Structure 1
């Protein structure tokens, strides 16, 4: 939720210290760049010392970075705070590894969906809180976000227990080690391509709505919040039924197909009313595809190396968020429909590639190999 609180007011806060458009872009990109660098490190560390200590450390670091942002006295201070925030926010891989350790494979997609739904709630409530506090000064939302992160730290300290399946420390493999697994490499590539597609919409949607329909930021935010609510409803509830009936691979294919149709359908819409259909397809497709892809990544590695794998998986998305906005801006300047066309092609590629993915977990494969008689195979 802290990210959602900060983002609507961060550009105005940076402008208070004379930030140009280029400087603001650097501030925003620094967050994703730090996530890319640190996600594999936190994942590997969690394989060594456990998920709980790393999660507590990163939550505490997030609270500190938000406090520093609220106390900033210069643009350089803001940049440093956002770099720190990105580094400590690179714990999604650890959180998803925690869920994978604590859940059986058949329920994993459902709980990955719940993780996604929690982000959706933060995306909806965060901007509302940030906007409500902005009249009290731009420091107020930052300090409120820091306070909420502190509350989260206390709750995590009291509630989190190390998953039983990760009770013993493991030898951690680096990002290169995780990517030596061909299946992990394919899934990280798919996650990069999917995230690159999503950033096209996120980057240019406000420009598209303003140029095409004359909408302002308030109206654009309403559409984004509605999409987040729909995604949260599906990930928080609908994924239970879907994951019980369909394999993750099938859900990735279905989600990619819905996204491809949704992205392709955005540029030619004749009116705002017709815009609701492709946006709904995008929201549903993303809600289905994202947790399913995360679940496949968690199944692709042994439990003792899962943190490193999920860290590399998160890093692939962070890298897309570094280069994606730049590509989207250049394409939009060339032709307003171009970013959406690229996004449609990218998610169609993810759906096509997913058809060939295996569905068995690495732990199950190891158990089967161990149970086989000597010389079998």
Structure 2
């Protein structure tokens, strides 16, 4: 096998799988443990949202530091930070969970930027979307087994949670220290130009660049829905007849993995804005949120249908928008602006917990997910109307 499935890339994908395996467990344990300790949905949302909010904050700087220090040196330091964060979960309470989520956020900002930029720079344009899709695919594979494992750990006792976190930290560190990342030619050519682009200017580009603005709005909206699902499904499932959070998250992640692999060659990789494709994808997202909302009265059929639709939307939205931007953004500022776009995805997931938690406290989980369906529908119209600025 060659290209995006060659051995050097497979090693990187395996590291991605290990790195994100802890989150598939933590995303279930923290809401359950938080409720057991008497925390409100708002507090749980803040703790869960702190992870990607911190990631978002550090992403614009991650590309520069990696460029100056080299990906391997940064990667090894970040794996130590991530290992310490995982250890914090083993002996602290809610306050320690918040600190651990923030440390994880810092490490993820650098880890994901290093690997995604490396993939984009190293692969030919015609298979670039495959590499991005496979990176995302391997980050979701732990979500197939992780949620069910988390439920088992929760029922067996938190001592097992500590053992699993320590094992993941050690195994990820060992594999990560043996990884190699080559600095792509395009990256070397552009490094001088990128060094002159200020972070402040990159934030202005979010509004000045129509391509970046369009993709960021769509990604932010979708990520709010994804964040609300990740944060509150473990608690909402208890209100759904025959609902099981582990099964829901397993179905969602399994759909993401299957769709990302099956559709990796169908994700547009030509630098054009495919309006009908994106409108259809956002409609899938809106339908998924609607099904989850109706599950409180409709039962498990709506609940698990929503999981499959949500997974399909997740599988398509991120790699499609990321690949499109990799073509249309200016070369000299591409990596910085891609970092800003990914930061918008992080912000959305964070807001999904922080903003939707109070709604769940004031009204209900079902009402909150109905709001998610409505904002997804609004984004559908935005995607259709903005198709006119596509590259010709």
Range of TM-score over shorter length: 0.7 to 0.9
Shift of 1:136: 6.6
Secondary structure, aligned partner of 1:162: coil
Within 1, Cα distance between the matches of 2:125 and 2:383? 22
Correspondent of 1:193 among 206, 218, 221: 221
Shift of 1:234: 0.9
TM-score with structure 2 setting the length: 0.76
1:355 has 2:382 as partner: no
1:310 has 2:342 as partner: no
Secondary structure, aligned partner of 2:264: helix
TM-score with structure 1 setting the length: 0.79
Judging changes above 3 Å, is the alpha-carbon distance between structure 1 residues 78 and 323 closer, same or farther for their aligned structure 2 residues? closer
Q: Which whole-Å deviations, capped at 9, do the CAs of 1:260-306 have from their partners, x for residues lacking one? A: 34434554574533555454333222211221112223334455544
Correspondent of 1:179 among 194, 200, 203: 203
1:89 has 2:136 as partner: no
- Report what 2:123 is aligned to: 103
Within 1, Cα distance between the matches of 2:233 and 2:246? 10
Within 2, Cα distance between the matches of 1:71 and 1:274? 38
Shift of 1:334: 4.1
Correspondent of 1:224 among 249, 262, 271: 249
Shift of 1:34: 1.5
Correspondent of 1:320 among 348, 373, 386: 348
Shift of 1:151: 2.6
Shift of 1:210: 4.3
Correspondent of 1:38 among 55, 58, 64: 58
- Report what 1:61 is aligned to: 81
Within 2, Cα distance between the matches of 1:96 and 1:69? 28
Q: Name stretches of at least 5 consecutive residues in structure 1 with no aligned partner.
A: 361-377
Aligned residues of 2:148 and 2:247 also touching (Cα < 8 A): no
Aligned residues of 1:230 and 1:283 also touching (Cα < 8 A): yes
Aligned residues of 1:117 and 1:232 also touching (Cα < 8 A): yes
Shift of 1:57: 2.9
Within 1, Cα distance between the matches of 2:155 and 2:293? 36
Q: Which whole-Å deviations, capped at 9, do the CAs of 1:131-186 have from their partners, x for residues lacking one? A: 45556752543453343243333323323222323246444334432234313333
- Report what 2:11 is aligned to: none
- Report what 1:113 is aligned to: 133
Shift of 1:19: 6.1
Within 2, Cα distance between the matches of 1:229 and 1:156? 25
- Report what 1:77 is aligned to: 96
Secondary structure, aligned partner of 1:144: helix
Judging changes above 3 Å, is the alpha-carbon distance between structure 1 residues 194 and 108 closer, same or farther for their aligned structure 2 residues? same
Within 1, Cα distance between the matches of 2:35 and 2:290? 35
Aligned residues: 355
Aligned residues of 2:129 and 2:319 also touching (Cα < 8 A): yes
Aligned residues of 2:79 and 2:173 also touching (Cα < 8 A): yes
Q: Name stretches of at least 5 consecutive residues in structure 2 with no aligned partner.
A: 1-20
Shift of 1:193: 2.0
Aligned residues of 2:31 and 2:232 also touching (Cα < 8 A): no
Shift of 1:111: 1.7
Aligned residues of 1:69 and 1:77 also touching (Cα < 8 A): yes
Q: Which whole-Å deviations, capped at 9, do the CAs of 1:313-360 have from their partners, x for residues lacking one? A: 222122223322343344454473432432432441453255235348
1:236 has 2:258 as partner: no
Within 2, Cα distance between the matches of 1:204 and 1:10? 10
Secondary structure, aligned partner of 2:28: coil
- Report what 1:374 is aligned to: none
Pair member with larger Rg:
1
- Report what 2:283 is aligned to: 257
Aligned residues of 1:231 and 1:286 also touching (Cα < 8 A): yes
Correspondent of 2:241 among 211, 214, 228: 214
Aligned residues of 1:114 and 1:235 also touching (Cα < 8 A): yes
